Amino acid sequence: MTVTRQTVSRLDYTPPAFLVDRVDLTFELDEHNTLVTSRLVIKRNPAASAVADAPLVLDGEALVLESVKLDGRVLGPHEYELNDRQLCIGGIADEVILEIATRTDPARNTSLMGLYVSNGNFFTQCEAEGFRKITYYLDRPDVMAKFTTTLIADKAKYPVLLSNGNRVGEGQLDKNRHWVKWVDPFRKPAYLFALVAGKLVSLTDKHVTGSGRTVSLEIYVEPGNLDKCPHAMASIHKSMQWDEARFGLEYDLDTYMIVAVSDFNMGAMENKGLNIFNTKYVLAKPETATDADFDGIESVVAHEYFHNWTGNRVTCRDWFQLSLKEGLTVYRDQEFSSDVGSRAVQRIQNVRALREHQFAEDAGPQAHPVRPDAYQEINNFYTWTVYEKGAEVVRMYATLLGREGFRKGMDLYFKRHDGQAVTCDDFRAAMADANGADLEQFALWYSQAGTPLLDVAGAYDATARTYTLSVRQSCPATPGQADKQPFHIPLAVALLGSDGTPLPLSLAGGHDTDAATSRVLQLRQAEEHFVFTGLNERPVPSLLRDFSAPVRLRYPYTDEELTFLMANDDDAFARWEAANSYAMRLLRDGYASGQRGEAVHVPPGYLAAAGRLLEDETLDPALVALMLELPSEQYLFEALDDVDPALLSKVRIEVLQTLARELRGPLLATYQRLNDGAPYRFDAAAVARRSLKNVCLAILGERQGPVVSELLINQYRRADNMTDRLAALKALANSEHPEEYLADFAQTWQDDALVMDKWFSIQATSRRAGVLSRVQALMGHPAFSIRNPNKVRALIGAFCQQNLQHFHALDGYGYAFAADRVIELDRLNPQIAARLAACFNRWPKLEPVRRALMKGELERIAASAGLSSDTHEIVSKALQQ
Ligand code: TRP
Ligand code: ZN
């Protein structure tokens, strides 16, 4: 059975022929045979008058239909049409009541979409199109209804029964069963429906909103995990306070629930009042979770909570508008993290991730606009572009309109659209109208794919005392979009004088009198010139400050100018960027030397600048850590052509080894200074110190003599927290005899699934010989399961996406292994299979031998029988390059 789907096109949107006013659902929960009865109050949509007698077409998948009743009368099989995707009923009055009974087998549902079982408990996942696996319905986001849900289940096995909204009743039934009824007072699309049933325990707390309402906060986890919930609970409090203070948005129900589940396709889901989370984004204590895990939890909790307004109260008209809620909510969670933590660190980390993943996506076969025009499978569009580039697009409104202007736009957006399903254009209109701004050209950020490139040149005229910045913008062709129009781009700039201070900026012809030292230039044309006046010396330009737009920028800095910016720029992002550019330059040069068979050379200027960073104790250790970290292999890969990944890896290691040798003294001194033996604390200062300490350790770990080995072993043994222990284990895993430490780690943490994920990843990303056989052997480990997405990501995903050297082994076994896993997973969980298949996207960038090998594996996947539409879409686009 091939389930290849038709392409869905954005411009084909039509309003639904019917609307649903009310949904009353009853679930009789049983692992293998759950009965779902749905009573729908359905009305013809007055706004869709063109189709006055259209039949009612309901979506449904993998359901067994028991009965259909129309206005109380059971329909015979000739009174409707049924296929494996739809239930179609003709001759319907303007308002009807439809009652549908269906059965499903949740225990056999390995797709983790719809209703499924995880560790004996029931969960649902309905976004984007999972509700149709629960019952026949108008499963599209512009159909918003009021839901009530009654859950019936065995009381001993499923003591906790949860759904959206408020709990309004409960009681006992025969056969040891009980029931609970939930009412959600807010209209919502079906993708926000959720239920949970099982043996769970909860941590509870209260939040009093600014207007004085009390909200009960409840986090549900499997027994034994309550000690890992306080950080998530603290994150809820912070998120609620922040959204009230920054956007004036309060929570709107009496209860806010989070439930953690270990089998989950993504990070978390914002179902109304009942968010369901991957355990990875809930459970944490210092012994088991790293600082990065703690940060991840804080931001995902915030993200899902913020969706209550940006996503739920105002939702998407259709799935092409996904970034309306996701880009905006990512922007909001990034701003939250910046306000409660370090803004500079947050920005640099976000930009680093955007460039590594989204820029690559935008340059590859799946490049698509923030608002895509077509899809075969919507699950494939939960992408870096829709989320992270979408967040950058929202950030640009704030950059162009200012913080207050942005807030005005948000207020107008909610005023106009609360309770509606709307489009990205509606959001843009609210921003424009609230500020009287012209955002017509800005619309191109939603419709054009590809990463714009800014070529910048600077010219100083000593006689006229002017400095002219010339900016040319272009955007590469992407699939289906050969020619691009110029974007409206905010470009933040400053000019630094020779003493390192930013100079007052006045633009020729400008009427500004305040001599600001930083300003946002607005680019609208393919080429523009900005003349700054009154400058007594040739300045060094600081460009794209705070990464003011999601673009690439080229400016011919000298090495000296880069070290000058590293030391002086008052914009933390630009300062980090100077270090990053310098490191990129030396890695590319190193790669070129490697290709000529020459040794890799690290320029003394770079070593000196890095040494000064280590020695300056007045600097924020977190920023120093970020500046010292070399660009990743993946990022470097994107910057090269005809890539030999083995050489790339080797060159990067040689650079690290050179740093370890040449900066040994300062690295050791910094390590010792920060390794103060103080007991673990999770606060910004302590996290910053650990980050620099462990960056030093990682670099030193590239040359493991007796002194460094002892440091590693001591840190591994003595650490009172997972951040330090894992940092040591990572370096030890590349040493000659890691077995003792890996065994000790597994022994200690064998019962903690999330910690075992780290153990799998460390081995999958190790550089030692024989990693692939190790990965294959680990697939048989009792803690591994191919059905669990976290395990697949930790072991298989880590090997295919983060182990350049071994995944790209010249014998092609790495590729064959990945293809086998894609085919195996496709039968179980198409979403996860499709994500893994994307590891083949960049085959045209490889040198010819590997290019052919990888393409061969893609062809093998494409030819395998019964491929899902998810994997089919990814693989066929990858082959079309
Ligand atoms: N809307 C969710 C978020 O961004 C993500 C999501 C979409 C999801 N589809 C999913 C999560 C499927 C789990 C499974 O927060
Ligand atoms: Zn989201």
Write down the architecture of domain 200-313 according to CATH. 2-Layer Sandwich (3.30)
Write down the architecture of domain 453-553 according to CATH. Sandwich (2.60)
**Ligand 1, atom 2: closest residue by C-alpha:** 269
Q: Is the Cβ–Cβ distance between 870 and 831 less than 8 Å?
A: yes
Structure tokens at 86: 């739809």
Nearest in space to 198 (alpha carbons), one of 265, 164, 151? 151
Nearest in space to 619 (alpha carbons), one of 691, 701, 537? 691
Q: How far apart are the first and last CA of the chain?
A: 27
pLDDT score of 192 more than 80: yes
pLDDT at 513: 58
Q: Quick one: how many helices (H) and strands (E) in the chain?
A: 29, 31
Residues of the chain with CATH 2.60.40.1730: 1-106+131-191
Sequence length of the chain is 881
CATH of domain 555-732: 1.25.50.10
CATH of domain 319-445: 1.10.390.10
pLDDT tens, residue by residue, 647-702? 999 999 999 999 999 999 999 999 999 999 999 999 999 999 999 999 999 999 99
Q: How confident is the model at residue 50 (pLDDT cuts 50, 70, 90)?
A: low
Mutate to test the pocket of ligand 1, among 111, 115, 125, 835 (most ligand atoms within 8 A of CB): 125
Using the mean position of ligand 2's atoms as its centre, give its distance from the Cα of residue 356 in Å: 20
Residues of the chain with CATH 3.30.2010.30: 200-313
Active site residue 304: yes
Note every long-range contact of 686-692, with CB atoms under 8 Å and residues 24 or more positions apart, other chains counting.
687/291, 687/294, 687/295, 687/622, 688/342, 688/345, 688/620, 688/621, 688/622, 688/625, 689/621, 690/291, 690/723, 690/724, 691/291, 691/621, 691/622, 691/625, 691/626, 692/621, 692/622, 692/624, 692/625, 692/628
Catalytic residue among 304, 361, 377, 873: 304
pLDDT score of 227 more than 50: yes
Give kind and range of the element (H or E) at residue 104.
Answer: strand 95-104
Residues of the chain with CATH 1.10.390.10: 319-445
Structure tokens at 258: 């989070």
Mutate to test the pocket of ligand 1, among 124, 266, 304, 305 (most ligand atoms within 8 A of CB): 266
Structure tokens at 733: 């895993």
Q: Is the pTM of this model over 0.95?
A: yes
Pairing outcome for strands 315-316 and 421-422: parallel
Q: Which fold has domain 1-106+131-191?
A: Immunoglobulin-like (2.60.40)
Nearest in space to 290 (alpha carbons), one of 807, 686, 626? 686
What span, in angstroms and rounded, lies between the C-alpha atoms of 861 and 819?
6
How open is the CA angle 306-268-817, to the nearest 5 degrees?
A: 145
pLDDT tens, residue by residue, 751-797? 999 999 999 999 999 999 999 999 999 999 999 999 999 999 999 99
pLDDT at 5: 66
What span, in angstroms and rounded, lies between the C-alpha atoms of 715 and 673?
14
Using the mean position of ligand 1's atoms as its centre, give its distance from the Cα of residue 267 in Å: 7
Mean pLDDT within 229-251: 98
pLDDT tens, residue by residue, 541-572? 999 999 999 999 999 999 999 999 999 999 99
Using the mean position of ligand 1's atoms as its centre, give its distance from the Cα of residue 114 in Å: 13
Q: How confident is the model at residue 2 (pLDDT cuts 50, 70, 90)?
A: very low
What span, in angstroms and rounded, lies between the C-alpha atoms of 413 and 432?
10
Pairing outcome for strands 166-172 and 453-461: unpaired
Using the mean position of ligand 2's atoms as its centre, give its distance from the Cα of residue 193 in Å: 15
Q: Which residues place a Cβ less than 5 A from the ion ligand 2?
A: 326, 329
pLDDT tens, residue by residue, 140-150? 999 999 999 99
Which ligand 1 atom sits nearest the alpha carbon of residue 304?
Answer: 15
Burial classification of residue 441, based on how many CB atoms lie within 10 Å of its CB (0-12 exposed, 13-18 middle, 19 or more buried): middle
**Ligand 1, atom 15: closest residue by C-alpha:** 269
- 838 ligand 1 Cβ < 6 A: no
Which ligand 1 atom sits nearest the alpha carbon of residue 326?
Answer: 4
Q: Is the Cβ–Cβ distance between 606 and 583 less than 8 Å?
A: yes
